[in-house]
Amino acid sequence: MYNRYTNIIVPAQRREDGKGHTIRATFGTNIALLLTLAIAFVTTGFSLPQASAQHNSLRSGNEDAPLIGTAVLVERELLEEPDADTLERRQTVKEQFDIVTPENEMKWLHIHPGHDQYDFTAADAIVEFAQDNNQQVRGHTLLWHHAVPQWVREDSKTWTCNDARRVMKDHVDTVVGRYAGRIHQWDVTNEILTDWSADKPIRLRTDTNPFLKACADEPEDFIADLFHWVHAADPDALLFMNDFNLEPVNAKSTAYYELAKRLRADGVPVHGVGTQSHLRAVTPLDDTVAENFKRFEDLGMHVAITELDVRVPTNGSEPVAGYERAHTQRYEDLLNICLDSPACVSLTVWGHHDGYVWANKQRRGEGWAGLMTESGQWKPAYYAMQRTLNNREGIPERNVILPRTDIVPGSSSSPFSSSELETPEAPDPSLTSAPDAPDATATHDAYSSSSSAPNELPLMGSWLLQIVGLIAPWLLNDLVLVFGPLFAFR
């Protein structure tokens, strides 16, 4: 089921003058028509639609579609004593998304700040919130060269490879074991390969990653062991290698393809590749993205879009005229590629609200990267994604494994202790950022709010919108802009 209004395609604001010339509707004309529409609603006694998690949401658009997700931060959405804005953001996450990724809370710096010190408070809050709201979780991340606590940086200066393996094994058993059965996907590795440059080949980060540096003589063996340990600690989780600049066929994605092929040939449980997808509106998607997804599919692997955002040229906080459409197009194009690929199991945006999207703070003169404006209104990209999810037919089936629900929180299913560093028996072979957001400083707790009953647009109201689409199609863009707050399902 879907709401009729949200599936009306919003055309460009153009029409012909009767002489074959295309003209743009004046704002005064549009306002007059908007007032006419408003009067019609009032006189007929029909109201605009209210929020409906079940019919106007990215998470319920199509049961055959990949999981749609967002990054979350405890201090942004899950404070124990939330204000009104926090509650609104929380409700948005609850209603709009199938899967959530802790933006920081499972990184080493936050969850393992001391030698024998683990802090699960924030990570627990996110996992419990997801469980309460029937959502999945992406664990992020176990091996990265950023967000590493000071004790690791200091100790690793004298580590042998066996020391590095022992520390990582303890971390995996403790963290992955705690959430066993409750994590759908783990970014086991994050950005372990360098990017391409003219003077240096793509290689494993044995110079900047403390664990790979300690095992520089055998880094692939360390990575293989890591995947085995994670799989032993949580056999139900899908295990990914995650990185940026992996969307098209290029030198970096090919390096990951070859690495994955070698590891899987040796029976290492590498289940998928994650492409972060930090995109720009000024750069169209490469025409080899679908081909790249297909070659990983042919390896028997999944693909996940893990950190999607689309930066737009801006004047202050507003987009430069003409780039809104490109912003929408990038989101919609990548979603369609994901829908067409049976291997693509999820699409996650790296924060959906422009007040908090990481990408908006990375480059002066670019921003407006999320699906929602700073004032809390959904953008055309959101409606385009929702429309696509609701209307697409013939989506190929994808095999999505859901976590078990019979796991006792805090227990580990790993049969290996932290002191036993032998690699577990290889599984049946038939069987991949962004820098840290600000640290959490508040006390955290999980929260769940009850879902409100859906309210649908009455039939006459829907007819009125369809009539506007027929007699003045250019007006529908203004409907979204002017009446957007009333149609923003937050």
How many Å apart are CA 309 and CA 99, to the nearest integer?
16
Higher pLDDT, 284 or 461: 284
CB atoms within 10 A of CB 330: 24
| Residue 432 reports pLDDT greater than 90 | no
Residues 30 and 475: beta-carbon distance below 8 Å: yes
Give the H or E element holding residue 473.
Answer: none
Distances (CA, A) of 44 to 3, 319, 458, 462, 470: 20, 37, 11, 12, 20
Q: Which two tokens stand for residue 56?
A: 């106007």
Widest Cα–Cα separation across the chain: 82
Quote the pTM value. 0.74
Summarised one tens digit per residue, pLDDT across range 252-269 is: 999 999 999 999 999 999
Higher pLDDT, 470 or 171: 171
Residue spans of beta strands (DSSP E) within 292-415: 302-315, 318-319, 344-349, 366-367
How many Å apart are CA 260 and CA 188, to the nearest integer?
13
Distances (CA, A) of 103 to 334, 350, 376: 21, 8, 20
Please give the mean pLDDT across all residues of the chain: 78
- Res. 316 pLDDT band, cuts 50 70 90: confident
Summarised one tens digit per residue, pLDDT across range 267-278 is: 999 999 999 999
Residue spans of beta strands (DSSP E) within 316-449: 318-319, 344-349, 366-367
SS3 for 221?
helix
- Res. 419 pLDDT band, cuts 50 70 90: very low
Q: Which two tokens stand for residue 200?
A: 């240096």
Average pLDDT over residues 369-381: 96
Please identify every residue annotated as catalytic: 307
For residue 247, which phi and psi values (nearest 5 degrees)? Answer: -65, -55
For residue 398, which phi and psi values (nearest 5 degrees)? Answer: -125, 145
Give me the pLDDT at residue 161, please: 99
SS3 for 306?
strand
- Res. 72 pLDDT band, cuts 50 70 90: very high
Domain 58-391 architecture: Alpha-Beta Barrel (3.20)
How many Å apart are CA 333 and CA 177, to the nearest integer?
37
Q: Where are the domains of the chain?
A: 5-49+459-487, 58-391
